[in-house]
Structures are given as structure tokens and as C-alpha cells.
């Protein structure tokens, strides 16, 4: 599938100053260490590409949702980590506009990297402010802007939208790879296409569930989301996490599903758990007790899919040619309730010919911890949470639409 936007390969950026938007919004530990570096590792190919061409590379990002300039939101630890990954010094600037940036870019050698401080220290970033974007463009003196922050392209912010009105703007290699991999799997998948959907809430993922009803051959529902489906279908889910206000949404989902597969095919198309692992609370010392969904005790919570359901999920994955997975199938932060998610990861890792695409912050975290090979056991671990969901739903992404089109 050809990508509809120009990329770094399409413009003569050799020896130029190039401004790159990355998404270094990475989870940090309470003592200020990077907890998961997927997004930093994923930015390396584009940076290498530019460095090999003698560019001065100026990188900008946000981190978290700061309300003030607080050390815990500083990108300084990312600069250190990037230095190790690139095996090159990365000059960190304590601002993203103004004289400090001008000086740092002036002092930088061609073939070197400058990382700017958190864009969200300025409210103008999220306000998509044109003057702020102009200040970034003039301070860096960049001749090209490269959007490579896939995780943030669903936002119309100064660094994803307004900046593209100041500097000729193209895609980086990560953005292109994410976009093409996800779009291809949604639009022209090797079939059967199985969607594995879980996580906390239906309300976060309505559009993507609706889309999968359209495009998938089977949908497996797990996580707390399954409780809401089960309750809608008349099951008493005890003290489980459940959303009671989703009746209309579920009416719509079941209506569309029946139109597609008929009443008789519905339970094999929208696959709900038949058994679940329950406990009073998801505490580290809780024991896993599996019950049929009709036997969930009133004071207990369904925290994972049960063993029979796990076998059914594994069989569906075994038959699939493409699996798209978003949302853990249980409270996977606690090993006793990570059985369902671990089995999905295992099935995908042991079916290397099956295209496996994993999206969602918590799901990506889980598989990276499970994998131990940095995600190499899967076809694609997306760096996008909200962005991958919006792309799968078929929504246009403002940070992509704003870029120059590909030459026909």
C-alpha cells in the first residue's frame, strides 16, 4: 500500500537543519527513570537516517500533561537515554523556543542531535498556537519539519499542526511504518482477521469496536469491557468493574453484528468469556479462582478470562492470519490475572506467520514485559495508544493530514 504523504525520502534534506517531532511521552518511575523506552527506540531509524545525511537534527516532544515547569516532566532523562541508543552526544536545551535554542543549534555540528525541553511547558502547544509554532521554527532555523511522533498525531497541537504552516513538512519513517502497517491490516488484511479487544472501558473504544464489527471475521472480547457485554446479555457480573450506561452503544453493535453474521452466527463472531477468574480485589496476594460466568459471586470481581475461554481464544488465534490486539484481557498488572493476556502473547509469538499488531499503552507495556525481545516476537507493537485507536477507527489524524502529500 503506498503512503499518501511525502516522507524524508522525498525531499533534499542533506546537510540541512531538520526539526523532528517525536513522541517521547514515556512512562517514568517515581525516581525519575524511564520505565519503558519503546517510543525512544522507535524514533532511532529516522534520526539515524537524518544523521547519515549530515543533518543537524533538532528533536522536540512533550512529556505528560504538566501544569507548570516541574522537574518530573523534564525531557532531560530522555536526552541521556537517546545518547546511549545513538552512541552520539545529544545536546539538551532547557527550553523549546528563544535564545537558548538559537545558541544550541548554532553550536551543534552537522550530524549531531539537539533535544528541546518539554513543549507542554507552554500552554500554546496544546492550543495549536501559530505564534508559538513560528517561535519554534525561527529559533531552530529548520529547513524541514519531520513528523515522527505517531503517538501524538491524533492531536492538533502546535507541534503537529501549526508548525506545518511554518516549514515544509514530511513524515518520518516511524510514522510511515505505523500508518501503513495499521491501515493495511484494517483495509486489506490476510484473513481470517481476528480482533482481540479488552481493557478497562467500552467507552474508550466504541468507534474501534464498531469498525471491527465491519471488518473483522471474529472479535474476542475480554477485560473489564467483557463485563459490560456480559451484563448487557443478561449475566450477573457481581462486583465487577462494569459500565451501566452503554446499552444504546451495545444495541448498535449487536444490531450491526446480526446484520453481518445472522442471529445463529453471533456467539461465534462476538466471542464473550464463558468463564472468568474472580477475586474480591485485584491485590498481589489474591488467588485466582475460575467460575462460569453464570456463577460470579455477588461480592467478587471478574478480573481475567477463565481457562475454558483461554482455550477458545487460543483456537481462534490459531485459525487467524491476522490478529489485531488492543486492551489486556484481564487485570494483567497482577500475574494471577494475566493468564489470558499471557496466552494471547504466547499464541502470537509462536505463530510467526500470522500478522500480529498490538496497540494500546497498557497492552504494549504488557507484551514488552512478557516478550523480553523488545517486541520482536510480534509483527508490530504500536507506539500509539489513542493514535492507533483513531487510525483503526478510520478517523483522519490531524498530524498526518497537515503534512505534504506524496508525489503522484
Q: Kindly list the catalytic residues.
A: 39, 201, 361, 386
15 DSSP assignment: T
Binding to ligand ADP, residues 309-328 (CB under 6 A): 326-328
Binding partner at 155 among ligand ADP, Mg ion, ligand 3PG, none, C-beta below 5 to 8 Å by kind = ligand 3PG
Strands 144-147 and 169-171: parallel
Shortest approach of ligand 3PG to residue 383 CB, angstroms? 9
Count of residues in contact with ligand 3PG, rule CB under 6 A: 8
For the chain, what percentages of helix, strand and coil (3-state, to nearest 5) are there?
Answer: 45, 15, 40
Task: Pull the grid cell for residue 270.
Answer: 462476538
Which is nearest to 325 in space by CA: 208, 231, 176? 208
Indicate whether 303 belongs to the interface with ligand ADP (CB under 6 A): yes
Binding partner at 340 among ligand 3PG, ligand ADP, Mg ion, none, C-beta below 5 to 8 Å by kind = none
For ligand ADP, the binding residue among 95, 184, 210, 333 (CB under 6 A) is 333
Q: Judge contact between 384 and 391, C-beta under 8 A.
A: yes
Q: Judge contact between 340 and 329, C-beta under 8 A.
A: yes
Nearer CB in complex with Mg ion: 140/326: 326
Return the range that interacts with Mg ion (CB under 5 A); candidates 34-42, 170-178, 300-308, 355-363. 355-363
Shortest approach of ligand 3PG to residue 155 CB, angstroms? 5
Q: Judge contact between 183 and 391, C-beta under 8 A.
A: yes
Q: How far is CA 337 from CA 303, 340, 362, in A?
A: 6, 7, 14
Indicate whether 378 belongs to the interface with ligand ADP (CB under 6 A): no
Binding partner at 367 among ligand ADP, Mg ion, ligand 3PG, none, C-beta below 5 to 8 Å by kind = none
* Alpha carbons 332 and 348: distance in angstroms, whole number: 17
* Alpha carbons 237 and 254: distance in angstroms, whole number: 20
Strands 355-359 and 169-171: unpaired
Beta-bridged to residue 115, according to DSSP, are 59, 92
Shortest approach of ligand ADP to residue 393 CB, angstroms? 13
Binding to ligand 3PG, residues 337-396 (CB under 6 A): 385-386
For ligand 3PG, the binding residue among 25, 43, 46, 140 (CB under 6 A) is 25
Shortest approach of ligand ADP to residue 178 CB, angstroms? 15
Shortest approach of ligand 3PG to residue 397 CB, angstroms? 12
Shortest approach of ligand ADP to residue 230 CB, angstroms? 11
Sheet bearing 90-93, strands edge to edge: 90-93, 113-116, 56-60, 17-21, 144-147, 169-171
Binding to ligand 3PG, residues 136-175 (CB under 6 A): 151-152, 155
Task: Pull the grid cell for residue 313.
Answer: 481464544
* Alpha carbons 272 and 227: distance in angstroms, whole number: 9
For ligand ADP, the binding residue among 152, 224, 338, 381 (CB under 6 A) is 224
Nearer CB in complex with ligand ADP: 83/333: 333
* Alpha carbons 293 and 277: distance in angstroms, whole number: 9
Q: Which residues are at the interface with ligand ADP (CB under 6 A)?
A: 198-200, 204, 223-224, 241, 302-303, 326-328, 330-331, 333, 360-363, 385
Q: Which residues are at the interface with ligand 3PG (CB under 6 A)?
A: 23, 25, 65, 151-152, 155, 385-386
Amino acid at each position: 500500500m503506498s503512503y499518501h504523504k511525502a516522507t524524508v525520502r522525498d525531499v533534499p534534506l542533506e546537510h540541512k537543519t531538520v526539526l523532528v517531532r517525536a513522541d517521547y511521552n514515556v512512562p517514568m518511575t517515581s525516581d525519575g527513570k524511564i520505565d519503558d523506552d519503546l517510543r525512544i527506540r522507535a524514533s532511532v531509524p529516522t534520526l539515524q537516517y537524518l544523521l547519515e545525511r549530515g543533518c543537524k537534527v533538532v528533536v522536540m516532544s512533550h512529556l505528560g500533561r504538566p501544569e507548570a515547569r516541574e522537574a518530573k516532566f523534564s525531557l532531560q532523562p530522555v536526552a541521556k537515554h537517546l545518547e546511549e541508543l545513538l552512541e552520539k552526544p545529544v545536546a539538551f536545551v532547557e527550553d523549546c523556543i528563544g535564545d537558548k535554542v538559537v545558541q544550541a543549534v548554532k553550536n551543534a555540528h552537522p550530524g549531531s542531535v539537539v533535544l528541546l525541553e518539554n513543549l507542554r511547558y507552554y500552554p500554546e502547544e496544546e492550543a495549536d498556537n501559530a505564534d508559538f509554532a513560528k517561535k519554534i521554527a525561527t529559533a531552530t532555523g529548520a529547513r524541514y519539519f519531520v513528523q515522527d511522533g505517531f503517538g501524538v498525531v491524533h492531536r492538533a497541537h502546535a507541534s503537529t499542526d501549526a508548525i506545518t504552516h511554518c516549514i515544509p513538512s514530511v513524515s518520518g519513517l516511524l510514522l510511515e511504518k505505523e500508518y501503513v502497517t495499521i491501515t493495511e491490516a484494517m483495509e486489506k488484511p490476510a484473513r481470517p482477521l481476528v480482533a482481540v479487544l479488552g481493557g478497562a472501558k467500552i467507552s474508550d473504544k466504541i468507534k474501534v469496536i464498531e469498525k471491527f464489527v465491519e471488518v473483522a471475521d471474529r472479535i474476542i472480547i475480554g477485560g473489564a469491557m467483557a463485563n459490560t457485554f456480559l451484563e448487557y446479555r443478561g449475566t450477573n457480573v457481581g462486583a465487577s468493574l462494569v459500565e451501566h450506561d452503554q446499552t444504546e452503544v451495545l444495541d448498535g453493535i449487536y444490531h450491526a453484528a446480526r446484520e453481518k453474521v445472522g442471529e445463529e452466527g453471533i456467539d461465534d463472531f462476538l466471542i464473550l468469556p464463558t468463564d472468568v477468574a474472580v477475586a474480591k480485589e485485584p491485590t498481589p496476594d489474591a488467588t485466582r479462582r475460575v467460575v462460569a460466568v453464570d456463577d460470579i459471586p455477588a461480592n467478587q470481581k471478574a478480573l481475567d478470562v477463565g481457562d475454558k475461554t483461554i482455550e477458545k481464544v487460543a483456537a481462534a488465534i490459531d485459525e487467524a492470519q491476522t490478529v489485531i490486539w488492543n486492551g489486556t484481557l484481564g487485570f494483567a498488572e497482577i500475574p494471577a490475572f494475566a493468564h489470558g493476556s499471557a496466552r494471547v502473547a504466547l499464541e502470537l509469538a509462536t505463530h510467526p506467520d500470522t500478522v500480529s499488531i498490538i496497540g494500546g499503552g497498557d497492552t504494549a507495556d504488557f507484551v514488552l514485559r512478557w516478550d523480553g525481545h523488545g517486541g520482536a516476537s510480534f509483527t508490530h507493537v504500536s507506539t500509539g495508544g489513542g493514535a492507533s485507536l483513531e487510525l483503526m477507527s478510520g478517523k483522519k489524524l490531524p498530524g498526518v493530514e497537515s503534512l505534504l502529500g506524496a508525489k503522484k
